[in-house]
Structure 1
Amino acid sequence: MKKNTSEREYFLDSIRAYLMLLGIPFHLSLIYSSHQWAVNSYTPSDTLTVLNDVIHAFRMQVFFVISGYFSYMLYERYESHRWLKVRLERVAIPLLTAFPLITIPQFFLLKNFTDRLQDWDNFNLYEKINVGIWELVSHLWFLLTLCILTCVSFFIFKKIKQIKKNRIPFPISRMTTLGKVSFYIFIFSLFYALLQRTILIIDPDLLFNSLFNFVVLQSLFYLPFFVIGAYAFKYEWLKQLFLKPSPYAFVGSLLLLIAYVANQHLNTKAYFSPELDTIITSLVGILMVNVVFSSGHYLLNSHSVRVTYLVNASLFVYLVHHPLTLIYGAFITPRICSNGLGFLLGLVFVFSIAFMLYEIHKRVPLLRFLFSGKPQH
């Protein structure tokens, strides 16, 4: 049975949609960056490399805070088993749909038209399975992570709901300032970095195991952001820490983004580059929650037909943008000499075709269901 809850907050819907759509400039800039990807331009662009790094540094941490917020909001609205069913339907059905319709065709595109899988015939069985999982999950990893966090939160949210509002648990009770929230995220990131280094010493091959990365490492990294989002719904004062503009968060985020870019391009694994990456992205992620929430609350907290359209379209557009980006990179990028022009034309190419496909899919009830997980009436 549904329970009454507060009205949905438009700015969070808008932010979540824009974060999803940022996946398009992220992957397009990856083509023109100095990072090795499935497809790359002949010469990398420093500007687009920095753009790619900046988007990658904070986007998904903020996304999972919002996901935790909305997930717990629905948990307060539904009976727990009904909540689990609804949440898994809306996440797992698009995930399972995207495998045969998007990532399997994408796999053959990579194998036949890029250098990504040029050694496929020389792989042993384990390597083929491992690489196959990497490529089939691909950009759908966040849906898989949401499925896992939803299952874990079935038990976590039950505990959160049982907490009386005047008996705040540790460490949430200590998170009375944004600095203290950042401190506990920093402690978690140290633990996670230590786990990374330990695995690297004991069994380095495990770090390259696709299932272990997707199921364990990714889920563990984003779990605290997801849970903080849930607590932000339960405790208004915690949400206000993210809504009140903080110049310290803005400056701190800027410095951490600079540190992230420097660590990406000037540091090596021998000097704890992956571990520093974990610490930096954890801190910049939580500080950018404040920057994004406060600016979004000021600019986007109103109902808009245009934004509602983007909110409804964002998941589908994100799901189909990746193969479109690969097609653009494999067949069109080599024909354009200018990186800047290629990037801009890529945005036009991917956005226009993705929204065209969205309009087509809206007219087919079965596709609407498969890509949203929502019953069609």
Structure 2
Amino acid sequence: MMLGLVLHSALTYNVTVHGNVWNIKDTEATNITTDFLVLMIHSFRMPIFFLIAGFFGALLFYERKPWQMIKNRTVRIVIPFIVFLLILTPIMQFSFGYASETFGGQENALTNALALFSEFSVYIPKSTSHLWFLYYLFFATTFTVLLAFLLKKTPKLTQRIKKNGNYIFHKPVLRILFFSGITFFILTVLKTPMVASSTSLIPDTNTFVYYTSFYLIGWLLYTSKQQLETLKKYDWLCVILAILLVVIQGILIQYADLGLKSNTNSPLLIAFSSSIVWLFIFGITGLFIRYGSHHSTRMRYISDASYWVYLIHLPLTALFPILLQKVPINGILKFLIVTIATAIVCFTSYHFFVRNTFIGKFLNGRKYPKNLKSL
């Protein structure tokens, strides 16, 4: 979730034109480095999120009663999605409307943006915005739970799946090749190397199929959890190879003059995307198991804050660039300032207004003390 803050802060300074997906651009401060950063983060951020969600969804399903798991997911996913979609919709329309008109040279940008609040339609959600992941997490969870109930009726098939999963996860090279092959097949069928994050209120088939595949594999990983330690093998190598492949992929898109874009239906780009995502997933997961298996108060604090930070960060990544528009510094510095400023506001608001309040309990299931002496 935290990488969403970095990704959205970088988009304003991308050389790439993102159209209506991100219509804010500081044309005087674009920098190709931010494009590579966005390409890299987008290649694994949400796939690994859905895989982890599948893993812990399975934990709740098998370690507690299935209906307790369903209740938990409803409270942690469905209700926050509805509440924050309603709260954030007018804020999002204001912030992005104001930023877009400001960078477009509109003199009355602020007046026009504020005028939106007088219209009833501004309060009605027209998209899921950056909360799309909760929307599709609900669909992925529902689909997988139904599938799990069906598999309970076929114990022999279930055992065979567990056995094969154990074998595949145990083999470092095989697991990368096997799951990359599955992703390659899915992307080939979907005819794109990069599945766009659909923010439409009408469910998108491509988004559902792609991200649910990672949720399912995360669920399968839980049934083979005894193999988690094996993910530490070649973890650093996987991450380094993934970064190198991202750089090569970016060069092919930006400079190779092959007519390729990040979403061009090309077997070459699909092969890159399929390999990169699983190298990152197994590499990063292995690194977290290696270095993050022990309790850390700091990491727990950041983890608890991440939900709130992600929910509220997006309007800030649209508004802070306005303050820097006329500042004569390069795009990298502006990107860093926007990222840091957004993080400071998000974490400060979490600490003083969320962590030990009903909002913190609503998002994380309990209130936490503000005392940081133990950090």
Query: Shift of the alpha carbon at 1:70?
Result: 0.9
Query: Shift of the alpha carbon at 1:167?
Result: 3.2
Say if 1:146 and 1:257 are closer, same or farther in 2 by CA, change over 3 A: same
Residue in 1 aligned with 2:354?
362
Residue in 1 aligned with 2:97?
111
Residue in 2 aligned with 1:339?
331
Q: Which has the higher contact order (CA 8 A, sep 6+)?
A: 1
Query: Residue by residue, what CA displacement relative to the aligned partner does 1:2-33 show, whole Å, maximum 9, x if unpaired?
Result: xxxxxxxxxxxxxxxxxx11111211122212
Query: Shift of the alpha carbon at 1:169?
Result: 5.5
**Is 1:292 aligned to 2:271, yes or no?**
no
Question: In 2, Cα distance between the equivalents of 1:368 and 1:228?
Answer: 30
1:43-192 correspondence to structure 2 within 5 Å: 43-115=29-101, 136-159=127-150, 163=155, 167-168=160-161, 172=165, 175=168, 176-192=170-186
Query: Shift of the alpha carbon at 1:262?
Result: 3.0
Q: Secondary structure at the match of 1:22?
A: helix
Residue in 1 aligned with 2:188?
194
Higher helix share goes to which structure?
1
Query: Shift of the alpha carbon at 1:328?
Result: 0.9
Query: Residue by residue, what CA displacement relative to the aligned partner does 1:307-350 show, whole Å, maximum 9, x if unpaired?
Result: 11111100100111111101112343443532232122212210
Q: 1:329 aligns with which of 321, 326, 334?
A: 321
1:198-347 correspondence to structure 2 within 5 Å: 211=200, 214-246=203-235, 249-250=238-239, 252-266=241-255, 267-268=258-259, 273-276=264-267, 277-347=269-339
Structure 1 unpaired stretches of 5+:
1-19, 119-128, 199-206
Query: Residue by residue, what CA displacement relative to the aligned partner does 1:257-307 show, whole Å, maximum 9, x if unpaired?
Result: 124313542554699824555443332121112211222222222112111
Indicate conservation of the 8 Å contact 1:38/1:115, yes or no: no
Say if 1:116 and 1:84 are closer, same or farther in 2 by CA, change over 3 A: farther
User: How many correspondences in the alignment?
Assistant: 337
Question: In 1, Cα distance between the equivalents of 2:35 and 2:51?
Answer: 26
Determine what percentage of the aligned residue pairs are the same residue: 21
Query: Shift of the alpha carbon at 1:251?
Result: 5.1
Say if 1:22 and 1:247 are closer, same or farther in 2 by CA, change over 3 A: closer
**Is 1:38 aligned to 2:29, yes or no?**
no
Say if 1:40 and 1:240 are closer, same or farther in 2 by CA, change over 3 A: same
Question: In 2, Cα distance between the equivalents of 1:355 and 1:208?
Answer: 26
Matched letter for residue 89 of structure 2? T
Matched letter for residue 190 of structure 2? Q
Question: In 1, Cα distance between the equivalents of 2:270 and 2:232?
Answer: 25
Matched letter for residue 314 of structure 1? S
Report the TM-score when normalising by structure 2.
0.77
- Greater than 6 Å deviation, 4+ residue runs: none
Query: Shift of the alpha carbon at 1:39?
Result: 1.6
Matched letter for residue 160 of structure 2? R
Say if 1:346 and 1:234 are closer, same or farther in 2 by CA, change over 3 A: same
